[in-house]
């Protein structure tokens, strides 16, 4: 009886909330995001009445982990309800460009980058590769392919219309060649604070990075959910492995080694990639890191792709203030009740003090709370495959919102009829559909196609 009464009360509250929200035009965050995500000049098929009706009735929908975590096809409203704070970077970039009149066709040129850049379009919900520019060596190839596959997954999993867009994306760690050259824009994995013209996309690791053992991002999450130990049963040390020499952030990494030398709470070791014994004895897989209570995060040449993997651990991350921004960094909280990591000085000189405090038995609940917050915020919400797909689509919509040109899906070409010799104009789509690109890794090819030798290494 008591349960029934409780249900009646809850039902009453929901009904009251629904009446209130419909009276005021919807919860403010839903309304705001809804407007943001509607292209001002809608392109593609119009939204049908039945679809807008579906949005109304879905207002009660709530995100549930793990039920929805691997759903690549959440609709627009579900994406807002599940991940309300995810879209800061797309909003920022769109606002920046709007203030400057929007993106023009000049911005979809690839010539300025040299290599590692792809020009692509989404037309009638189909992904087309227009120009794959220098993405075929052992470094660029897996990154470009992974990123295109991720984008394609987000496009095809979506049941609603997406605006037509044409854009470029680069797989370089640093999207711009000259960090001060703000004359070019593209979609990149990371940016510096002053590179406000750049658009951030999820990096290739959300598909997979098999070259370093990350077979698929979703599998990493699955393994952790199944295998990870209780926080209190984990090794009470801080772990880190990495190269130290010859990187942009040498000072950070050298500082970490110095601050942790000979400490009982440290399992921090440098890697020497030129020494096979060193790698065989020291290298840890991503999941092995999660066996520790504490994780150190350092930038490398630019951003560090391992951060998202480390944030998947139910552990406490310690990181210096990051110079390179990825699409989710604004969700890192260094203090307050939602604290989900511990911030250190750039040279980690305060690491011993921080570790002593975190390991103090009287602080153990507070320490575990940071790990709990991180798991709830990242592994179970903002770094799920579902969130990744939502982010891609928000990026597409935001770009469309400030795109000042009409995307030309078709091109015309004079072709000769082989029997009559007569010439006529023939229309065909520009570039190659991703379905074909994924197999041919070319935008154009002769028939019959030549066998292609896949490069695993140069």
Interacting residues with ligand NAG (CB under 6 A): 178, 180-181, 183, 275, 277-278, 281
Q: What is the 3-state secondary structure (H, E, C) of 399-430?
A: HHHHECCCCCCEEEEEEECCCCCCEEEEEEEC
Contact between 102 and 86 under an 8 Å Cβ cutoff? The reply is no
Q: Tally the residues of the chain.
A: 458
Beta-sheet pairing, 423-429 with 410-416: antiparallel
Distances (CA, A) of 444 to 66, 166, 385: 42, 19, 32
Q: What is the 3-state secondary structure (H, E, C) of 31-65?
A: HHHHHHHCCCCCCCCCCCHHHHHHHHHHHHCCCCC
- The CB-of-358 to ligand NAG minimum distance in angstroms stands at 28
Residue written as token pair 């772990």 = 239
CB of 52 to ligand NAG, least distance (A): 43
CB of 113 to ligand NAG, least distance (A): 13
Q: Are 379 and 311 in contact (CB under 8 A)?
A: yes
Minimum distance from residue 51 beta carbon to ligand NAG (Å): 43
* Distance of closest approach, residue 182 Cβ to ligand NAG, in angstroms: 7
- CA–CA distances in Å: residue 268 to residues 52, 123, 251, 252: 54, 49, 16, 13
Q: In angstroms, what is the C-alpha Rg of the chain?
A: 24
259 touches 238 (CB < 8 A) = no
Element (H, E) at 343: strand 342-344
Nearer to ligand NAG, 181 or 233 (CB): 181
Smaller CB distance to ligand NAG: residue 246 or 361?
246
Q: Which is nearer to ligand NAG, 180 or 417 (CB)?
A: 180
Angstrom CA distances, 398 to 259, 395, 402, stand at: 43, 5, 7
Q: Helix (H, G, I), strand (E, B), or coil: what is residue 173?
A: coil
3-state helix, strand, coil in the chain (%, to 5): 40, 15, 40
Q: For ligand NAG, which is the closer residue by CB, 244 or 364?
A: 244
Nearer to ligand NAG, 181 or 251 (CB): 181
Nearer to ligand NAG, 231 or 240 (CB): 240
Task: Give the shortest CB-177-to-ligand NAG separation in angstroms.
Answer: 10
Residue nearest to ligand NAG (CB): 278
Q: Which is nearer to ligand NAG, 13 or 279 (CB)?
A: 279
Supply the minimum distance, in Å, between the C-beta of residue 238 and ligand NAG: 20
Q: What's the distance, Cα to Cα, between the start and end of the chain in Å?
A: 71
Structural tokens at position 424: 């006529």
Query: Phi/psi class of residue 422: alpha, beta or left (left: φ > 0; alpha: ψ in -120 to 50)?
Result: beta
User: How is residue 142 written in tokens?
Assistant: 């897996």
Query: Given the complex with ligand NAG, which of 105 and 181 has the nearer CB atom?
Result: 181
Residue 278: CB minimum distance to ligand NAG, A: 3
**Between 40 and 277, CB nearer to ligand NAG:** 277
Give the shortest CB-178-to-ligand NAG separation in angstroms.
Answer: 6
Closest CB to ligand NAG among 36 and 241? 241
Angstrom distance (rounded) from CA 391 to CA 90:
8
Q: How far is the CB of 273 from ligand NAG (least distance, A)?
A: 11
180 vs 230 by CB, closer to ligand NAG: 180
Quote the least distance from Cβ 148 to ligand NAG, whole Å: 28
CB atoms within 10 A of CB 64: 10
Cβ proximity to ligand NAG, 180 vs 458, nearer residue: 180
SS3 track for 91-129: HHHHHHHHHCCCECHHHHCCHHHCCCEEEEEEECCEEEE
Q: Cα–Cα distance between 193 and 408 in angstroms, integer?
A: 33
Smallest gap from Cβ 277 to ligand NAG, in A, equals 4
């Amino acid at each position: 009886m008591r349960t029934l009464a409780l249900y009646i009360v809850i039902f009453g509250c929901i009904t009251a909330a629904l009446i209130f929200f419909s009276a005021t035009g919807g919860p403010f965050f839903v309304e705001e995001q809804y407007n943001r995500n509607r292209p001002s000049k809608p392109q593609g098929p119009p939204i049908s009445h039945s679809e807008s009706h579906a949005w109304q009735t879905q207002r009660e929908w709530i995100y549930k982990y793990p039920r929805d975590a691997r759903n690549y096809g959440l609709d627009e409203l579900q994406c807002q309800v599940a991940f309300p704070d995810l879209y800061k970077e797309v909003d920022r970039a769109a606002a920046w460009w709007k203030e400057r009149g929007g993106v023009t066709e000049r911005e979809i040129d690839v010539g300025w980058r040299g290599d590692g850049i792809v020009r692509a379009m989404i037309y009638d919900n189909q992904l087309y590769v227009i120009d794959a520019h220098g993405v075929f060596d052992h470094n660029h190839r897996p990154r470009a392919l992974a990123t295109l596959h991720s984008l394609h997954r987000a496009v095809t999993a979506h049941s609603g219309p997406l605006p037509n867009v044409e854009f470029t994306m680069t797989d370089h760690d640093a999207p711009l060649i000259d960090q001060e050259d703000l004359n070019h824009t593209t979609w990149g994995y990371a940016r510096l604070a002053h590179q406000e013209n750049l658009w951030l996309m999820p990096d290739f690791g959300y598909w997979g990075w098999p070259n370093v053992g990350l077979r698929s991002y979703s599998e990493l999450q699955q393994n952790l959910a199944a295998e990870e130990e209780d926080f209190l049963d984990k090794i009470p040390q801080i772990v880190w492995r990495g190269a130290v020499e010859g990187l942009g952030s040498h000072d950070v990494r050298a500082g970490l080694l110095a601050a942790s030398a000979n400490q009982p709470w440290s399992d921090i070791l440098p890697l020497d990639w030129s020494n096979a014994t060193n790698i065989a004895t020291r290298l840890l897989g991503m999941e092995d890191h999660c066996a520790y209570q504490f994780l150190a995060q350092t930038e490398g040449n630019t951003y560090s792709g391992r951060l998202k993997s480390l944030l998947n651990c139910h552990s406490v991350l310690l990181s210096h203030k990051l110079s390179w921004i990825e699409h989710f960094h604004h969700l890192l909280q260094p203090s307050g009740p939602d604290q989900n990591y511990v911030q250190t000085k750039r040279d980690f000189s305060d690491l011993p003090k921080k570790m002593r405090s975190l390991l103090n038995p009287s602080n153990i609940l507070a320490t575990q709370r940071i790990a709990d917050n991180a798991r709830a915020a990242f592994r179970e919400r903002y770094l799920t495959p579902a969130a990744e797909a939502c982010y891609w689509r928000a990026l597409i919509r935001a770009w469309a919102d400030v795109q000042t040109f009409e995307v030309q899906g078709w091109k015309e070409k004079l072709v000769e009829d082989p029997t009559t010799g007569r010439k006529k104009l023939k229309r065909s789509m520009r570039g190659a559909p991703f379905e074909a690109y994924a197999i041919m890794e070319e935008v154009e090819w002769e028939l019959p196609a030549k066998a292609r030798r896949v490069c695993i290494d140069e």
